[in-house]
A and B are shown apart, each in its own frame.
Chain A
Amino acid sequence: MNRAAAVTVNAALAALAAVTLFPLLWMLSVSLMPANAALHLPPPLLPERLTLEHYRTLFAQLDLARYLANSSLLAIAVTALSLVFNTLAGYAFAKLRFAGRDRLFRLLLAAMAIPGQVAMLPLFLLLKQLGLINGYGGVIVPGMAGIFGIFLVRQYALSIPDSLLEAARIDGAGELRIFLSLALPLLSPILVTLAIFTFLGAWNDFMWPLIVLADSERHTLPVALANLMGEHALDTELMMAGAVLTLLPVLALFLALQRYYVEGLVLGSVKE
Chain B
Amino acid sequence: MRLGSPGVWFVAPALSLLTVFFFAPVGAALLLSFTDFDIYALGDLSSLRWIGLGNYQQLSSSLQFWMALRNTGYFVVVGGPLSVAVSLAAALLVNHRLVRWPSVFRSVFFVPVVTTLVAVAVVWRYLYHPRYGFLNHALAVVGIAPVDWLGDPRWAMPSIILMAVWKNFGFNMIVFVAGLQSIPRRLYEAAAIDGAGAFRQFLHVTLPALAPTFLFVTIITMIGHFQLFAEPYLMTQGGPADSTLSLGLLMFREGFRWWNVGYASSIAFVLFALIACATWLQLRLRKP
**CA distance in complex: A166, B226 (Å):** 46
* CB neighbours of A222 from chain B (8 A): 116-119
Contact B268 A206 (CB under 8 A): no
* CB-based nearest B residue for A179: B10
Which residues from 106 to 160 on chain B have a C-beta closer than 8 Å to any C-beta of chain A? Answer: 106-112, 114-127, 131-134, 137
Stretch of B14-22, B49-57, B60-68, B186-194 that contacts chain A = B14-22
Interface residues of B in 212-266 (CB under 8 A from A): 212-213, 216-217, 219-220, 223, 226-227, 229-230, 234, 248, 251-252, 255-256, 261, 264-265
Interface string of A2-40 (1 = CB under 8 A from B): 100110011011001101110110110010000000111
Say yes or no: A16-B93 contact (C-beta < 8 A), given A23-B166, A123-B25: yes
> Is residue A91 within 8 Å, beta carbon to beta carbon, of the partner chain?
yes
Any B CB within 8 A of the CB of A187 = no
List, in ascending order, chain A residues with CB within 8 A of B226's CB: 115
The answer to whether B216 and A271 have CB atoms under 8 Å apart is yes
Asked if residues A13 and B93 are in contact (CB atoms below 8 Å), the reply is yes
A142-B21, A147-B18, A207-B230 known; A269 vs B116 contact (CB < 8 Å) = no
Interface residue from B94, B131, B230, B264 paired with A13 (Cβ < 8 Å) = B94
Q: Mark B39-75, 1 if CB is under 8 A from A, else 0.
A: 0001000000000000000000000000000000000
The interface residues of chain B lying within 8 Å CB-to-CB of A97 are 5, 7
The A211-268 residues at the B interface (CB cut-off 8 A) are: 211, 221-223, 225-226, 229, 236, 239-240, 242-244, 246-247, 250-251, 253-255, 258, 261-262, 265-266
User: Is B161 positioned at the interface, with any CB of A under 8 Å from its CB?
Assistant: no
Distance in Å from the Cβ of A130 to the closest Cβ of chain B? Answer: 10
Inter-chain contact A43/B132, CB cutoff 8 Å: yes
Are the C-beta atoms of B271 and A117 separated by less than 8 Å? yes
CA distance A30 to B134 in the complex (A): 13
List chain A residues, Cβ under 8 A from B29. 118-119, 121-122
Q: Chain B residues with Cβ under 8 A from A100's Cβ? A: 1
Complex alpha-carbon distance, A76 and B14, angstroms: 18
Docked complex: B169-205 residues within 8 A CB-CB of A: 170-171, 174-175, 178
CB-CB < 8 A to A221: which residues of B?
116
Bound-state Cα–Cα, A271 to B178, Å: 12
Min C-beta distance of A62 to chain B, whole Å: 14
**A41 at interface by CB-CB < 8 Å:** yes
B129 CB to nearest chain A CB (Å): 8
Inter-chain contacts of A203 with B (CB < 8 A): 116
B6, CB-defined interface residue at 8 Å: yes
B114: contacting residue among A104, A115, A200, CB under 8 A: A200
> B22 near A246 (CB under 8 angstroms)?
no
CB distance from B1 to the nearest CB of A (A): 5
Name A123's closest neighbour in chain B (CB-CB). Answer: B25
On chain B, the residues within 8 Å of A204 by CB distance are: 114-117
Secondary structure class of chain A's binding surface, majority of residues:
helix
Q: Does A58 contact B (CB under 8 A)?
A: no
Q: Interface SS of chain B: helix, strand, loop or mixed?
A: helix
| Distance of A226 Cα from B252 Cα, bound (Å) | 16
Number of A-B contacts (CB under 8 A): 270
Task: Give chain B's interface residue range (CB within 8 Å of chain A).
Answer: 35 or more
Q: Does B276 contact A (CB under 8 A)?
A: yes
Would you call B288 an interface residue if the criterion is a C-beta within 8 Å of the partner chain's C-beta atoms?
Answer: no
- Nearest CB of chain B from residue A108's CB, rounded to whole Å: 8
Contact of B268 among A19, A38, A117 (CB under 8 A): A117
B285 near A: Cβ within 8 Å?
no
Known contacts A250-B115, A271-B212; is-contact A85 B14 (Cβ 8 Å): yes
Q: Is the Cβ of B6 less than 8 Å from the Cβ of A176?
A: yes
Complex Cα spacing A223 to B119, Å: 10
User: Are B6 and A10 within 8 A (Cβ)?
Assistant: no
Q: Given known contacts A10-B99, A38-B132, is B108 in contact with A17 (CB within 8 Å)?
A: yes
Residues of B within 8 Å of A12, CB to CB, are 93
Nearest chain B CB to A222's CB is how many angstroms away? Answer: 4
B114 touches A13 (CB 8 A): no
B90 CB within 8 Å of chain A: yes
> Chain B residues near A190 (CB, 8 Å)?
none
Q: List 24 A-B contacts (CB under 8 A).
A: A5-B98, A9-B93, A27-B123, A43-B133, A92-B11, A98-B6, A101-B7, A104-B15, A111-B23, A114-B272, A115-B271, A119-B22, A122-B28, A124-B256, A126-B20, A174-B6, A206-B118, A211-B252, A225-B118, A225-B119, A251-B115, A255-B107, A265-B175, A266-B178
Residues of chain B at the chain A interface (Cβ within 8 Å): 1-2, 5-8, 10-11, 13-15, 17-18, 20-26, 28-29, 32, 42, 90, 93-94, 96, 98-100, 105-112, 114-127, 131-134, 137, 166, 170-171, 174-175, 178, 212-213, 216-217, 219-220, 223, 226-227, 229-230, 234, 248, 251-252, 255-256, 261, 264-265, 268-269, 271-272, 275-276, 279
Known: A21-B108, A98-B8. 4 other contacts (CB 8 A): A96-B5, A114-B22, A123-B21, A144-B17
- The 3 closest A-B CB pairs, nearest first, are A96-B7, A92-B10, A98-B7
